[in-house]
A and B are shown apart, each in its own frame.
Chain A
């Protein structure tokens, strides 16, 4: 929480101003009972009507100022807390955008979303509370005590007894109740879980006729929740009546002892009335503060989660930012790849090495074994390199290393003869187009989604990419065509359609290297073969890396790399591998019946 407070620094002056305003407001509030006691003491007792009118007017004036201070304080407090939320949100979002995949895996996407949204709202809310109430409560409390002492120090001894009792009671009740709140949250989560399982597995439950069993499971969770909820609410039932009782008994004590003070002539009747009001103010501010103690731990948990994001440094460092002072070096490569010279020399590059892995190893943080171990291979322009292997064999890791979503631990990867680490990230990725395993569709039109691959793509280019990706038929079938608005996550189109759009997005980029990470899985056969035929001519001299699980997808590649548990166990064409590589043969046999593989 404190760490986040540094974002309040720019508003230091405003905050001081807010505190000053609240101080003034509290003073005004505290002054009113004194004025009232003056009315009683001097006006009523001495039967001075003019005095009463005068003081009444004075009280009204004080009240007006108090209100003005309060409204101003509210204005600035709202502005500061909202600004705080804005700044923190900004920082967190920018930070997350700079993260590599590794940080995403570590913190979790869903968690990052909550941190950026809910957690920040939570903290912002508490900041507002602090600015409005938290500052006010202690001021009122201290002010009340001072005024009480000023009115009658000896009578204040009553407060000395009552206040600790009040505090102890609050602490005691929250001590008893707090653990139950936590348990209650767990039970709520449990009932949610049972419900969700019941909904997602509805077909299975029905198929196995286990509706009754599920209902029982739910009833158990429900009963459990009810029992805890009853307990929590019963404990909380004590809170308010007990507090009120304590306050009221305090008033009685004040009147009782106060009457002795009056008897002794140490105190006036109006003072006693004012004193009671001060005592009330003190106790209410204590209650208010106790409420803060409930709010702050909740915000604290959020603050910790936010800080965790802010304190995470991306593992992949862009040369552009790392050497921003040494700009010459950065510029050296950043413009080179997309230059016209490069475009022209492309033809000459056909068959030449565009990407090379040299003894590359990568171990996921916390993993025992490397995900890929001492990989060496090369990809050439105009050729297809296929990577095949089982789950966990490290195929996707290779793709992510090429995109530099994380850096290899050992060895060297170079693209166009320049080591990846020496590329400016933006420039590097400009040269590559990825079709990921999991398709991502953004909310927006079909055209927007394709244009995501190349911001300045013309309509012709987009249509061409869609044609090659076999997306044109279904796009044209839609009423609005390319202007059809897709929902977030593309929920209004099918999996195969999403995949084709995802491919079109990569194609429109026209890069030097295409990465297909198991990207044809949602396509039906006809589409798949049509797409592949169209791809060949469209891609031209660019290189292509295709990750796949299925032999049919890879067998025509110029080079097939067989991965097994992170190690290359075979490299060559389909025919070569059938001869030389056991693992490949095993894969082929498991997928094809004998006559077909021959």
Chain B
């Protein structure tokens, strides 16, 4: 699971600094992920841009205008130089009445200033407008993905790591945002600049342009060769770094064991080996990517020198003017940047589309189908909590059924204890009862109505759930309890907390019910967390319950409180209890013994003992060991 979503990219939020200094991995140097279906994904991405068509057109127009104006300016500046030189030369040659035409120069410079201002204004406008477009698009994408998550079945989440989902919503969407903000317009300006410059240069001197263009293949060769090399080394650097980070993570999280078994030395030695390898690939990667700039600069300089020389000679031959050369030199200087950028664009587009594709993949996941038969009973009149399983057939995958033919009848108010070793499939039962998963066959009914004819949300509202794995969110204690029922009053919340034996400890907290639970909810103990989840369930007041009995991480006194709170909660409700204590199991109206995903025995304590099966075996073996306590099954 990625611990730092959002940190995967080290760019400032403004996006990639255009032409910025090469860092650890300059864009385009890293091998990017390739999208599987480029066209379709691009098309879909474009639909997101559709509502902003008008704005985008304006953005493109301003981008083009801004570029055009900035392309013209060197030429204009060249004219100023020509006027200057003409006057100076006349003066130098003692032409009578010769003077520098300051008026003319002032006029040209004024035009130039105007061009610059207009160009900058357009550039500003373009970025300013794009900011809103880009952010609104990614806002919409995030919303869509998140809403989609709400409609996906649990199957999806169980099969995927949270880190992966998070990374798609955060990092991939962010990648798209950056491209929209920076690269999209950059693509346009780069192309316009390139074409514009070539036209301007051709207008000045086709010969000089030819010379400059002749240096182009050289640049491409250099870029290609370096990019290939550096990709290799960057990849190896990334691999080494990944291995090293893995080792660090493993050793640090297992620090107690490393210490207890005295393995610090081996750990350090192992680290050193990896570190050496990392150093090797790291400096090579940095070096090779680092020489890109000087080499490109050198090629640029070759062009520069050639233009100076050839231009100088042409000037002597009166083919072109000094101003032309000056302008041409400026164009030549601007020439390499758009080339590098265009070379990069392919990479950027590819990685953006790949990111968008990962996001869309998520959006294309199959959704939970609501009621198969929506016209059927949508609500029960007065839910009692009679639950039946009729010939239930279920497995997480079609070919591996866990339950072949499960039958179960529970009457309102009964307590059902579920026992069995770890991984016996106790949560499977929860998944089925709450319609988190669909059956492969058979029926589960509540008060006689098959649950697949009820709204999912309605089925779930019939159950209260208190799991060992408490889930509380970053908010006040009040909000966390009130989660059980929207619009609960203050009195109801306090009453629920009292019934859950939580009121007392809440009041001892400095902020009482307003205490904000921190991210990990580590400011209250795990036992207290459990009490809060019980209060939440009490407030929800459902006719049926799913409970997970106390854990080993709770101290005995809190455990007593939890037990009492649970007893309060279970009173008068049909309760499915994942049981660990013998007393609960013995008192249960029905015991379900589970193993390897299926219910292998069911009956009361006495019945099961008499049957002499798996349960009896479990029960006996605990007495063989000294006769005590609870069945430690978890």
Contact = CB atoms under 8 A, between A and B. Distances in A.
A208 B481 CA distance: 11
B248 A113 contact: yes
Nearest to A229: B135
A201 B149 CA distance: 13
A223 interface: yes
Contact of B622 (A55, A256, A529, A590): A529
Interface string B232-257: 00000000010011101111111111
Given A189-B6, A230-B131, A251-B77, A590 B560 contact: yes
B221 interface: no
B60 interface: no
A405 interface: yes
A199 B158 CA distance: 10
A576 interface: no
Contact of B632 (A79, A208, A436, A552): A552
Dominant secondary structure at the B interface? helix
A125 B124 CA distance: 31
B599 interface: no
Contacts of A185: 6, 13
B123 A240 contact: yes
Nearest to A404: B259
B198 interface: no
A53 interface: yes
B285 to A, nearest CB: 8
Contact of A552 (B24, B257, B421, B629): B629
B12 A208 contact: no
Task: Identify the 7 closest CB pairs spanning chains A and B, nearest first.
Answer: A390-B555, A552-B629, A237-B127, A233-B131, A56-B309, A524-B421, A70-B294
Contact of A195 (B112, B136, B146, B557): B146
A532 B250 CA distance: 30
A168 interface: no
A204 B464 CA distance: 9
A208 B484 contact: yes
A222 B139 contact: yes
In this complex, the member of A36, A238, A432 whose beta carbon has the largest number of chain B beta carbons within 10 angstroms is A36
Interface in A250-304: 251-252, 255-256, 259, 262-263, 269, 272-273, 288, 291, 294
A440 B127 contact: no
B134 A233 contact: yes
B223 interface: no
Contact of A71 (B177, B275, B294, B526): B294
A192 B483 contact: no
Given A255-B81, A262-B100, A391 B525 contact: yes
21 contacts: A36-B308, A44-B322, A49-B316, A66-B297, A70-B293, A71-B295, A78-B282, A113-B249, A132-B21, A207-B465, A208-B540, A233-B14, A233-B127, A240-B123, A241-B123, A259-B100, A405-B256, A432-B260, A440-B254, A505-B261, A596-B627
Contacts of B135: 226, 229-230, 233
A513 B135 CA distance: 62
A8 to B, nearest CB: 15
Nearest to B624: A529
B631 interface: yes
Contacts of B194: none
Contacts of A213: 486
Interface residues of B, number: 178
In this complex, the member of B261, B263, B306 whose beta carbon has the largest number of chain A beta carbons within 10 angstroms is B261
B170 interface: yes
A262 B88 contact: yes
Nearest to A316: B259
A25 B398 CA distance: 69
Contacts of B85: 269
Contacts of A128: 286
A249 B112 CA distance: 9
In this complex, the member of B99, B287, B527 whose beta carbon has the largest number of chain A beta carbons within 10 angstroms is B287
A241 B124 contact: yes
A241 B519 contact: no
Given A49-B316, A193-B474, A288 B21 contact: yes
Contact of B625 (A269, A425, A529): A529
B276 interface: yes
A112 B252 contact: yes
B142 A222 contact: yes
Dominant secondary structure at the A interface? helix
Interface string A110-124: 101110111001100
B151 to A, nearest CB: 8
A530 B287 CA distance: 61
A522 B626 CA distance: 19
Contacts of B5: 192
A353 interface: no
B517 to A, nearest CB: 11
A406 to B, nearest CB: 11
In this complex, the member of B124, B138, B271, B474 whose beta carbon has the largest number of chain A beta carbons within 10 angstroms is B124
A40 B307 CA distance: 12
Contact of B84 (A39, A117, A259, A389): A259
Contacts of B113: 249, 252
Contacts of A380: none
Interface stretch (B161-169, B338-346, B354-362, B441-449): B161-169
Interface stretch (B33-41, B101-109, B211-219): B101-109
B481 to A, nearest CB: 11
Interface in A176-205: 181, 184-185, 188-189, 191-193, 195-204
A586 B556 contact: yes
Given A63-B302, A209-B457, A549 B555 contact: yes
Contacts of B583: 593
B192 interface: no
Contact of A524 (B177, B586, B633): B633
Contacts of B252: 96, 104, 109, 112-113, 116
A84 to B, nearest CB: 10
Interface string A60-98: 100110110011001101110111011001100110111
B624 to A, nearest CB: 6
A518 B552 contact: yes
B253 A206 contact: no
